[in-house]
Amino acid sequence: MNRILGDKFLGIQHIGIPVTDMSKSEAFYTRLGFDRVMRATFPSGESEGACIMMKRGAVIMELYQMPEPELSRIKSRGDGHIDHITFGVHDIQAVYKELDRAGFEIIEEKPRFLNYWDNGCSYFNVLGPDNERLEFCEIL
């Protein structure tokens, strides 16, 4: 089997979890020994969502809260779920091109920028065989 990405693949970067009450979730993960290492907002339609990164050791949890009406859909879902697993990469543009050439189903038309961390990050998502989302992200 031909492996792609070579030395651009850095490992799991974070696990993304949609939450319905950011304060409650932050307190929960703090009790588990996680520290908030980042806070940001992101555009979502005509509104903004909120995101925090909680870190303990090498594990980073991305907790994000969507604005209404998306928040109502998440609340009505019942059981919680992990939204995506993110792999850290080096050279996001090259990774995007390589996965595109290899025929992976990429959700975004190009890597997207978010004003996260000190200098932002760029990311895109690939769908797995059961529609699981695998995010590839470079912290800039």
| pTM summary value | 0.68
- Cβ-proximal residues to 31 (8 Å cutoff; 6+ apart), any chain: none
The domain locations on the chain are: 6-139
Q: Work out the burial of residue 45: count CB atoms within 10 Å of its CB; fewer than 13 is exposed, 13-18 middle, 19 or more buried.
A: exposed
pLDDT > 90? residue 77 = no
Q: Determine whether domain 6-139 maps to CATH 2.60.120.260.
A: no
- What distance in Å separates the CA atoms of residue 59 and residue 131, rounded to the nearest whole number? 24
Q: What is the pLDDT of residue 46?
A: 86
In angstroms, the CA 129 to CA 97 distance is: 20
Q: For tokens 């980042």, what's the residue?
A: 38
| pLDDT tens by residue, 8-51 | 888 889 988 888 889 988 998 888 888 999 999 988 888 899 99
Task: Return the minimum-mean-pLDDT range out of 44-58, 66-80, 86-100.
Answer: 66-80
pLDDT of 45 reads 81
| Per-residue pLDDT reduced to its tens digit, 116-134 | 999 999 999 988 765 778 8
What's the average model confidence in pLDDT over 58-62? 89
